[in-house]
Structure 1
Amino acid sequence: MIETFIRGGLLSQNDQPTTENPLLDLSGLPRFAEISAGQVEEALDAALATSRAKIAAIETQCPTASWASVASELQDIEEYVERVWAPVSHLNAVRDTDQFRAAVEACLPKLSAFHSEVGQNLSLFEGYRQIADSDDFNALSSARQKIVKNALRDFRLSGAELEGPDRERFREIVSELSTLCNQFDQNLMDATDHWVLDIDSESDLQGLPQSVVELARQTAKDASLDGWRFSLQAPSYIPFMMFCENRSLRQKMYEAYVTRASDQGPDAGQFDNGPLMVRILRLRAEMASLLGFAHYAQYALEGRMAGSAEEVSTFLRTLADCAKAAGAKELESLRHFALEEYGEEHLEAWDIAFYSEKLKQSLYSFSDEAIRPYFPLPKVLEGLFFVARKLFGVTVRQAVCASPWHEDVQYFELLNEDGSVRGCFFLDLYARAHKRGGAWMADCIARRRLADGSIQSPAAFLTCNFIPPVGDKPSLLTHDDVVTLFHEFGHGLHHLLTQVDEPAVAGINGVPWDAVELPSQFLENWCWETEALNKISGHYET
């Protein structure tokens, strides 16, 4: 399916670099398994040099700018750089190594400098103004008009209207922030991976579900240890806090988790993000001030649905006021239950999840862990794809990824009713060391109409951190996990089902960041529908 993903625009096939660097081969999907740390800076340097040369040519067209001579050309450049960098950014989150981390850290200032150059380029800014003010603007498609309007906003937010020292200072802040935010994420990943709880007495496992115990045993075995190893990764930490009868061990786990990357707890100061947070906040405030905003929140809301920081604050306060009374009542009920049923007089933070689970079982005879066997991942995926087919008329077909970044990765194609490929996506669903926690969807390739009239099909990354298969058992999900999977797939469908032909506003691109959650939350609803539940559930043994 390589032909489906060939791009056009910035580089023709004859202009493609002859280097063997896989990051510079945009003829198909990224060749992840071939990408090494030593290739990252080389690829970025080449991409930025090519892009700067192209921008110099575009600048000569700005006095008489049109969509074709300026905006379309700059969109090609932006997509080209994004295509080169997207695999790097993704691997930095899912396959972290010291060497790769160092390569990314070396590149971030260069990438930031390039984006600042473009964002503060007065010739380009004036070119977009020319397009917006021209008689031809209203004849452009709505997508192209949106791109021009977004660009004018982004030029202003990048400091294009600043002068002298303020202009240079803005660039310095943006560069430093990109480095600091990356370091923040790395510290959190390192702190999560570093701390473990090793147990050698079976009596300390009392209350834990068998699936959690088996995972801990496998984790210890992988580390060449006897006994059981628990970590701060979600599939280990969450059920441990919900079910472990040993209160002192729950306290250890809780304190290690909530003090990650701080100056407190068992790893105090080792991965401390405290100074980074202070520096980030100060730089954000200074950046916003340079642009004339009262504070960073006002700056961050530019281009979002919420109209002002006051509107957001009012919404949050109203929500808190509505929820606080109910929350206080539920907490008091939990305290009463823990005292009456278990003699626990002082409920601590590490007791909340444990006794909440006990209370739920007492009231409803229900446990999330008890239903894991009924949500085996293969069955859930089968049902999820059924829902996609019924709602959107598309079929999901598993295919072979020639160059995955990890053996757990699955690759799928999204097919139209006539069997043509609409897009594709990668699933990386299991928690492991050196992988960022949480769940997310990211853009790999954006849809666009190529110069010959054909369509470049979009591609997406869908990443979760579920409990991996253990022994001969498949990955078994809680219903909350199922909701998470549907949520991320909703993001993926948003990106893959787009019919917009301009990559800058296709799929998730160009969407206000407080609106981008709508498709994902929409798809969550089918996790509760009877027909869908019948498709996504079924005991993995029976």
Structure 2
Amino acid sequence: MALSFFRSNVIARNVKRQLYQNKRNAGYVVLIPEIGEDAENTLLSDNGLPEFNDISIEKCIATISKQSLEYENGVKQIEQTSANCKNAFEEVFKPLEKLDSQLELTWGLAKTLYLGNSSLMPTKSYIQIHERAHKARSTKFNSIPIFQAAITEKNRLKKLTDEEQRLLDKYILEGKLNGLDVKGMKRDRLSNILSGLQKERQMFRDKVNIANKVFTSTIKDGSVMREFPDTLVHSMAMGADPNKGPWKVTLQPHIYEPFMQYCPNRQLRWNAWQAHVQRCSSYVNKEIETASNLENVRSLRREQAIILGYETYADMSMETKMAGSVENVNNVLDSLLESARSMQDVELELLHRYAQERGFDDKLEHWDIPYWQRKQKWSLYGFDEDKIREYFPLPKVINSLFNLCSTLFNIQIVERAGINTWHKDVKFYDVFDESGNTPIANFYFDPYARQDQKIRIYDDAGWHIAMRNKCKSSETTPLSALIFNFQAPSDGKQSLLSFNEVSILFQRFGHSLRHLLTKANYSEVAGLSNVEWDAAEVCGQVMTHWLYDPHTITALSGHYITDETLPDDIIKNLQNIRGHMSGYNLCKELYLSKLDLEFHTKTAFWRDIVRELWPKYHALPFDKYDSHPLSFTKIVSEEWGSAYYCRLWSRMIAADIYSAFEEARKGDQDIIAVGKRYRDTFLAVGGSCHPSEVFRRFRGRDPSPHALLKNLGLPKKVIEE
């Protein structure tokens, strides 16, 4: 899986690979250390799993270097036979699959260590390994002979399976988007563009990272911290005793976002907010201003798309999306906005009234909303994330999650002892079909935060790493790692999860099921591989919907002392909580999605685009100093240009899928039958069939946004139209 190798949250983004990024000339040289004869086998134990007890950075680098060289040489050998091959599947693509298997596992192992124990795999070392593996694996998608072999095989007059068709289409599209059919001066220009893009994106990323560290604010008054959760107090503490202070406010996501929700001091909130939205602007520090980098990235992407035969970069992006066209995305975004925008006005009026009743006598501003939004949610629904933790001890939640999967998908998940791991807290599980005695897949589970060993990102508290794909020709089964940052057991207490953390656990595990339960034969299209970006998060999102089913939430909750289930009033309120200020929250997502698409379809200056879009999506006026696009790393320096809408699209598809389970329950039908159909389509097929077709096989029709709107409690009249 091609992943951005400079930013941790992209590395961890659960195998979303942007096909249209450059795979040919990365512009760097990785020095290869001396390689011993047995380098290839030093990382694996006799059972074929990683030998974590005996892994060192040097061994990882030596092994990946040796495997990368062998991979590149193997691709060259396949190229020599591809021109005259009579069956590309047997002579080209199956040999490529076998080449992938060893490199894939070593690379996955390095990713797992990087996210699971950075003291064993520091960032600098992982970047070196990632770059070398990425460079090697990209050779097959930058091979003109292999590209031509795929085209020739597709043009043969013979019937192909869905999987074979998708495999050929993948190699052809990869080749096209990498410019393999571009000739002469245009090819040279494309190479220069891609090199320039890499530099501009790196500069943008570096400047934002600096800006996040430049701003700090110190709190000495303990009364300000009174409502803060313990985890946040500890994260902000500057002294030895977290409860005595002082405490430091920063713009790091895991500090800034909860700080804005819990800080009662309006001046402190404003100070942090204005620093956050003005990052990398000329208002703050011209040395780390990113406006020129943003415009250069937009310009280079536009030229890249035109050379490759597309009108805009957004049009090029749609080649790898379920939506298929910018027009289709805009239609969905506009239909959601029609419902959400009017609701936002009502929500903000109610929030302002709520704040006034509690002594707030100012006009509600951007920096006030997170704080009063949290307070209002507690007042309306008695919802306190920290208090609710007591009802979600991790062992019970995990048990219930596995039981739910067993019921719905006819599998058994069994812990296996004695397996070598990177930390004593890590557990290893086998996944069995109920009809078989041999595991069909395996996964590691690493639940707890470890200070200075794990990367922390506030809105992305867990990762799924596909360490090994299913592949028939190399006879490999899926292997995954699930890594989280839940609080560890302490003072005799089990690990207690907030409702949000339970949701993250369900989401990541649902995502992993697509990898673990795949039935595809080719690893290149198995599981999460080759799934269109806007459908990649669907299975994870489907799983989170079960948390709003009263029977499910009752089964997985139990007070860590009394084992009492979550109180009925909170269970009944969960749906209301999900819909709390949903119009406001949805409008924010719609705005950023639209902003991204506009940046990559229009040539107007970035601030002009912002000024035009803002009032259509926001009830509160635009602050003239607000420069949020200048730190919008996801679309500029990460892999989400013209793809920010993808998560929202996945949520829409997932809500529609889950509504099939709800319909079965209301109609007194067999939910198990729906679970089987879901497993046989979305979980089994993965990237070996286009997600639009997979959806039709499951649902019997095309997708609709109605279920998402209904779940969010948005106006029914829009749903019924």
TM category, shorter: 0.7 to 0.9
Q: Which residue of 2 aligns with 1:158?
A: 178
Aligned pair partner of 1:147 in 140, 163, 167: 167
Aligned AA (2:63): A
Letter of the 1:421 partner, please give it: P
Higher relative contact order (CA 8 A, sep 6+): 2
In the alignment, structure 1 residue 332 sits paired with structure 2 residue 352: no
Is it true that 1:539 corresponds to 2:541 in the alignment? no
Confirm or deny that 1:128 pairs with 2:145: no
Question: Match for residue 71 of structure 2?
Answer: 51
Q: Displacement, 1:68? A: 0.7
Which runs of 5 or more structure 2 residues have no equivalent in the other structure?
Answer: 1-35, 563-721
Shift of 1:189: 7.1
Contact kept, 8 Å, 2:40 with 2:67, in 1: the verdict is: no
State whether residues 338 and 345 of structure 1, in contact with CA within 8 Å, keep that contact through their aligned partners in structure 2. Answer: no
Match of 2:499 among 461, 473, 479: 479
Residue 398 (str. 1) matches residue 418 (str. 2):
no
Q: Report how many residues are paired.
A: 519
1:412 to 420, 425, 429: 429
* Paired position in structure 2 for 1:427: 445
Name the aligned partner's letter for residue 521 of structure 2.
D
Give the conservation status (yes or no) of the 8 Å contact 2:69–2:136: no
Quote the offset at 1:493 in angstroms. 0.7
| Distance in 1 separating the partners of 2:293 and 2:489 | 37
**Aligned partner of 1:119 among 141, 157, 163:** 141
Partner SS state of residue 442, structure 2: strand
- Counterpart of 2:372 in structure 1 is 355
Report the CA distance shift for 1:360/1:54 in structure 2 as closer, same or farther (over 3 A): closer
Partner of 2:510: 490
1:243 alignment counterpart? 262
Q: Does 1:167 align with 2:187?
A: yes
Residue 441 of structure 1 aligns to a residue whose secondary structure is: strand
* CA displacement, residues 347-372 of structure 1 (integer Å, 9 cap, x when unaligned): 33332122112222333333333312
Between the aligned partners of 1:192 and 1:430, the Cα distance in structure 2 is: 26
* Structure 1 residue 211, shift from structure 2 partner: 6.2
Is 2:471 the partner of 1:448?
yes
Q: How many angstroms apart in 1 are the aligned matches of 2:429 and 2:396?
A: 16
The 5-angstrom pairing of residues 70-81 of structure 1 reads 70-81=92-103
- How has the CA–CA distance of structure 1 residues 305 and 232 changed in structure 2, closer, same or farther, with 3 Å as cutoff? same
**Cα shift at 1:384:** 0.9
Cα distance, 1:387 vs. partner?
A: 0.8
Percent identity of paired positions between Structure 1 and Structure 2: 28
- Show the counterpart of 1:310: 327
2:509 aligned partner, one-letter code: F
Residue pair 1:17, 1:24 contacting (<8 A) in 2 also: no
Task: Quote the Cα distance in structure 2 between the aligned partners of 1:264 and 1:100.
Answer: 34
Aligned-pair CA distance for 1:227:
6.0
What's the offset of the Cα at 1:429?
Answer: 4.0
Aligned partners of 2:249, 2:495: CA distance in 1, in Å?
17
Cα distance in structure 1, aligned partners of 2:338 and 2:482: 35
Q: Is the 8 A contact 1:447 1:457 kept in 2?
A: yes
TM-score by length of 1: 0.82
SS in 2 for 1:456: coil
How far apart, CA to CA, are the structure 2 residues paired with 1:179 and 1:415?
47
Compute the displacement of 1:339 (Å).
1.9
Unaligned runs of 5+ residues in structure 1 are 1-15
Report the secondary structure of 1:425's partner residue: strand
SS across alignment from 1:501: coil
Q: Distance in 1 between matches of 2:355 and 2:69?
A: 65
Structure 1 residues 113 and 244, CA gap change in structure 2 (3 angstroms): closer
Q: Which residue of 1 aligns with 2:110?
A: 88
What SS is found at the alignment partner of 2:532? coil
User: Structure 1 residues 410, 181: CA separation in 2 closer, same or farther (over 3 Å shift)?
Assistant: farther
Residue 422 and residue 187 in structure 1: after superposition, are their counterparts in 2 closer, same or farther (change >3 A)? farther
Displacement of 1:236 after TM fit? 5.4
Counterpart residue number, 1:499: 519
Contact 2:75 2:139 in 1 (8 A): no
Distance 1:400 1:165, change over 3 A: farther
The change in CA–CA distance for 1:332 and 1:528 in structure 2 (over 3 A counts) is same
* d(CA) in 2 for partners of 1:101, 1:196: 24
Hey, what does 1:4 align to over in structure 2?
Answer: none
User: Counterparts of 1:112 and 1:203 in 2: how far apart (Å)?
Assistant: 50
The more displaced of 107-116 and 320-329 is 107-116
CA distance in structure 1 between the partners assigned to 2:46 and 2:210 by the alignment:
32
- 2:254–2:456 contact (8 Å) kept in structure 1: no
Q: Secondary structure at the match of 1:457?
A: coil
Question: Per-residue deviation at 1:497?
Answer: 0.8
Shift of 1:503: 0.8
Secondary structure of 1:61's partner? helix
| Cα gap change, 1:250 to 1:168, in 2 (>3 Å) | same
1:530 aligns with 2:526: no
Deviation at 1:169, TM superposition (A): 4.3
Match of 2:675 in 1: none
Q: Which residue of 2 aligns with 1:69?
A: 91
Of 374, 380, 385, the match for 1:368: 385
Q: Counterparts of 1:491 and 1:422 in 2: how far apart (Å)?
A: 17
Over 3 Å counting, the alpha-carbon distance change for 1:485 and 1:338 in structure 2 is same
Indicate how the Cα distance of structure 1 residues 424 and 110 shifts in structure 2: closer, same or farther if over 3 A, else same: closer
Alignment partners' CA distance in 1, 2:420 and 2:288: 33
Q: After superposing the two structures, state which structure 1 stretch, 143-152 or 403-412, moved more.
A: 403-412
Shift of 1:201: 4.7
1:3 alignment counterpart: none
What are the superposed Cα offsets for residues 171-214 of structure 1, whole Å, 9 maximum, x if unpaired?
45556656776787787778768977765553232223456557
User: Quick one: distance in 2 between partners of 1:258 and 1:97?
Assistant: 33
State yes or no: 1:461 paired with 2:444.
Answer: no
* CA deviation after TM superposition for structure 1 residue 391, in Å: 0.9
Amino acid at match of 1:291: L
Q: Shift of the alpha carbon at 1:323?
A: 1.0
8 Å contact from structure 2 (residues 470, 522) kept in 1? yes
Which one of the candidate residues 273, 295, 298 is aligned to 2:315?
298
Change (3 A) 1:397 1:94: same
Matches within 5 A, 1:117-266: 117-135=139-157, 137-138=158-159, 140-171=160-191, 173-174=193-194, 201-209=221-229, 213=233, 221=240, 237-251=256-270, 254=273, 262=280
Amino acid at match of 2:174: D
Displacement of 1:80: 4.0
Q: CA deviation at 1:426?
A: 2.6
What TM-score, normalized to structure 2? Answer: 0.63
Instruction: Verify: 1:384 aligned to 2:406, yes or no.
Output: no
Shift of the 110–319 alpha-carbon distance from structure 1 to 2, 3 Å rule, reads same
- Greater shift in the superposed pair: 169-178 or 374-383: 169-178
Structure 1 residue 305 displacement after superposition: 1.4
